[in-house]
Amino acid sequence: MNIRSERWFRTCVQEVRLLSCTPAPDEAVALAAQTGSLGPITQFLEAWAVTIEIARMPASAARLRAAEYTAQATDRDEPAWRAAMDEIRELHIAAGKALADG
């Protein structure tokens, strides 16, 4: 496998991982239909955009994976859990700001 195909493969794997971790768009559409509002679709698209923004930056994606692992592997009363949650929040905020800034 050459470098280009390796990158393509890694990107595909990341996209599959992201799809499995993100609420399905059909759930957002169903909720929008139930409520008569586009809000659920807008919220889904905003969350998806933040997820993609983090994933496209390898360092941010690695930090997120590490923080998510720590959050899953530690008890909520441990300082490491709070630090991991803070890291996740900071990454999401930074990605949202990057998107807003264009």
**Tens-place pLDDT, residues 21-72:** 555 778 888 888 999 999 888 888 888 899 899 999 999 999 999 999 999 9
Whether the full predicted model's pTM is greater than 0.85, yes or no, is: no
The structural domains of the chain, with segments of one domain joined by +, span 1-44, 57-102
- Determine the pLDDT at residue 6: 52
The number of residues in the chain equals: 102
Q: To which H or E segment does residue 67 belong?
A: helix 58-73
pLDDT of 84 higher than 60: yes
- Listed in sequence order, the DSSP H helices in 22-57 are 25-35, 39-55
User: Look-up: residue for tokens 């659920």?
Assistant: 40
| Per-residue DSSP letter, 8 | H
pLDDT of 8 higher than 70: no
